[in-house]
Amino acid sequence: MSQANNYDVCVVGSGPGGYVCAIKCAQLGLKTVIVEKEKMGGVCLNVGCIPSKAMISAAQFLHRAQHDASDMGIEIQGDIVVNLPKLKKWKDSVCDRMSMGVNQLLKGNKVDIIIGEADFFSEQEVEVKSSKGKEKIKAKNIVIATGSRPIEIPGFKIDEKSVLSSTGALDLEQLPKKMITIGGGYIGLEISTYLCKLGVEVEVLEAGPAMLSGVVDKDCVKVIERKLKKLGVKVHLNAFAKSVSKKGKSTEVVAEIKGKKETLIADKVLLTVGRKANSDQMNFKKAKVNIDSNGFIAIDKQCRTSNNKIFAIGDIAGQPMLAHKASHEGVLVAEVIHGANRVYDVKGVPAVIFTDPEIASMGMTEEECKQAGYEKLKVGKFPFAANGKAVSLMETDGFIKIIADHKTNVILGVHIVGPEASNLISEAALAVEMGATLEDLALTIHPHPTLGEAMMEAAEATLGHAIHMINRPIR
């Protein structure tokens, strides 16, 4: 074993939290090393956020060519063939490009990179096992950014052959004829939608009484339910998967659906019932780092763990398990280590689900507003069907919904289901974070013709006087 290398900061994990933290530390003049056991960029860039968006983009392109092009007068002669190996190669090239970009950014900022698996050796040292053997790293500060992994349920062992995780579903060698998705959360619905558009028959088993229950606005979910039905995706609610077995070339799932036992047959099963923090790794006891009752590393508002010199960020440090939250925490931790008096203090974290249409939200739902003590609310919607840009795109499903305090008109939550919701939500994120009012949005001139105009009109609708829809009378 080589002797300990001394650093100001050692970051373990190179996902959106880890690599951002390492770069910021280096920019602040701190001698920094990052340890990654697989590929730079972590789960997000290599087997999560980026590859899923690449496949969703390709599937949407195919779907529009098949269903919308002729209405626009673009006649495509013959069948459109999906060359899956070529599509997979393109998807991999997108991931590789992003991963190499992270690698170059780290090197450009003079961050030392070690590829290997890290375990705590002591409270200020990690031991890294790599192809070169073992080496010790001693650091004044250590940042844990080791993320999460898919949850398995009893009887369903992920083998990436018959039972797939999201990783396997984004790396298929050939398309199955039928897929059973267990879990109607955002990961399951995103992957189910992309596979459906590529021609796979999809059936979803959701244990709860509704899809995306407690995750997004109920009105937004209704739009997704209608679109999934239109696409041919069969959704079972109150459905509990009990067992899976191989039957020849097929896979058999036994489920209890609304109290009745049913047997479903498919080629593949996709298990997407959530993710759990990798808090059972790295020998945290040696570092005197505490784990909470939910399996996350316990942290304070500066992301410090029970060990004052060790920080935790991203999925391993708690909900929401979102890449952009991890990046925000990464910058915060770097500045705290450098001496800044910063704390994690946000009004909300924007969330996006890349279904068809997309869902995006910022702030509270109506139910959450009432739980927070807001007795009276102003709630308004503006439909994309009344937006010229959406009509020209042939993407008119959905709306923008704004919730505001009845007394002050301060915006409490914005929920979007519709085209480019993932891009439109950033304006809402700024509005909620800065404590903007309905008038702030309504009186801001938005360019025409754009989807962004719908945000202005939604604010007007919440006030009762949108121009491009019939409102209740102004009072």
354 Cβ contact partners less than 8 Å away, ≥ 6 residues apart? 52, 53, 56, 190, 422
Chain centre distance of CA 402: 22
Cα distances from 40 to residues 15, 97, 115, 273, in angstroms, run 7, 11, 9, 26
Contact 114, 128 (CB under 8 A): yes
Contact 273, 153 (CB under 8 A): yes
Q: What is the DSSP string of 281-331?
A: STTGGGGT--B-TTSSBP--TT-B-SSTTEEE-GGGG-SS--HHHHHHHHH
Chain centre distance of CA 400: 20
Catalytic residue among 328, 415, 446, 448: 448
| CB count in 10 Å sphere of residue 247 | 9
Query: Does residue 240 come out as left (phi exceeding 0), alpha (psi in the -120 to 50 range) or beta?
Result: beta
Active site residue 338: no
Specify which residues 415 forms β-bridges with: 361, 401
Cα distances from 415 to residues 368, 410, 428, in angstroms, run 13, 15, 9
Annotated active-site positions, please? 448
